[in-house]
Amino acid sequence: MGKNKTSEYNGEVMRRFLNPKNIGIFENATNVATAGNPKDGDVVRLFLLIQDGTIVDAKVQVFGCPVAIASADILAEMVKGKTIEKALKIKNKNISDALGGLPPQKIGCSVFAESLIRNAILGEK
């Protein structure tokens, strides 16, 4: 019998994977961006509602592994309430740290944060 692959994830990753709070879309999003590679299996779409320079709401749609789902969920939580300037300072490492660290082979599933935020806010590709 093989090892359960989810057993390599810490409690925070599993909690967010099993019970994400920021999954979904909203029609009144002011900014939307997508990151990831469908060929590799992880794709994240970020929906932001920005008012007066502050991100008042954020949701994500995710197709991917448990780490991608947990990373996207915590990313949405981290940007809520932040000014655009502060949101742009969120780094990929902040996501990994907020999840309590990730297995080395799964770091790639969480490295979309910086580009996703930048693409959503600034429209960069």
Range 51-76 average pLDDT: 94
Whole-angstrom distance, CA of residue 116 vs CA of residue 77: 14
CATH code for residues 9-122: 3.90.1010.10
Any idea where the domains of the chain sit in the sequence? 9-122
Q: Does an H or E element contain 67, and which?
A: helix 66-79
Range 70-90 average pLDDT: 96
Residue 38 scores a pLDDT above 80? no
- Roughly how many angstroms between the first and final C-alpha of the chain, as a whole number? 44
The shares of helix, strand and coil residues in the chain, as percent rounded to the nearest 5, are: 45, 25, 35
Range 4-24 average pLDDT: 83
